[in-house]
Structure 1
Amino acid sequence: MEFTAEQLSHYNGTDESEPIYVAIRGRVFDVTTGNSFYGPGGAYALFAGKDASRALAKMSKNEEDVTPSVDGLSDKEIETLNDWEKKFEAKYPVVGRVVS
């Protein structure tokens, strides 16, 4: 499936009848099974319905970092993002891609 950023934003966990999606580098993961983390009130709820690439790379929970942009990240931050991506791949199914 292909999602625009707008469409992805609807899968943010606020509607219990819908899955929860988080994107990394444009790949959309179904993180519904991790709803205690990504659902409302969860530690990573601000990532739900968004591409959280930059925030994951920077290990940041700042709203301004929840963006797909990886421009200007250090090698260490890219490595951290790669690690997060591997964890997501092992744990959550990929359900689509974010398109512009």
Structure 2
Amino acid sequence: MELTSDQLKQYDGTDPSKPIYLAVKGRIFDVTTGKSFYGPGGAYAMFSGKDASRALAKMSKNEEDVCASLDALSDKEIGVLNDWEKKFEAKYPIVGRVVP
């Protein structure tokens, strides 16, 4: 499955009939089983329906960091992002990728 960023927004958990998706480095994970974290009211709900790569790398919940941009990240932050990516790969199915 390929989704644009705008299409990905439809999978933010606000529509209970749709799965909850979150992207890391352009790959879309189905995080529906983590609804308590990624669904409305969850601690990480701001990441749902978006590519959260930058925010994960920076360990940030700032809205401006919830994006796909990896520009100007430090080597340490890239390492943190890679660790998050491995955690997502181990826990959630990859269902597609984000396209321009």
The TM-score range, normalised by the shorter chain, is over 0.9
Instruction: Give the C-alpha shift of residue 57 in structure 1.
Output: 0.1
What TM-score results when the alignment is normalised by the length of structure 1? 1.00
What TM-score results when the alignment is normalised by the length of structure 2? 1.00
The residue aligned with 2:78 is 78
Amino acid at match of 1:79: G
Instruction: Give the C-alpha shift of residue 24 in structure 1.
Output: 0.3
Gaps of 5+ in 2: none
| Mapped partners of 1:24, 1:69: distance in 2 | 11
Gaps of 5+ in 1: none
Q: Which stretches of structure 1, 4 residues or more, deviate above 3 A after TM superposition?
A: none
Does residue 42 (structure 1) correspond to residue 39 (structure 2)? The answer is no
The residue aligned with 2:29 is 29
The residue aligned with 2:64 is 64
| Mapped partners of 1:10, 1:44: distance in 2 | 16
**Percentage of identical aligned residues:** 77
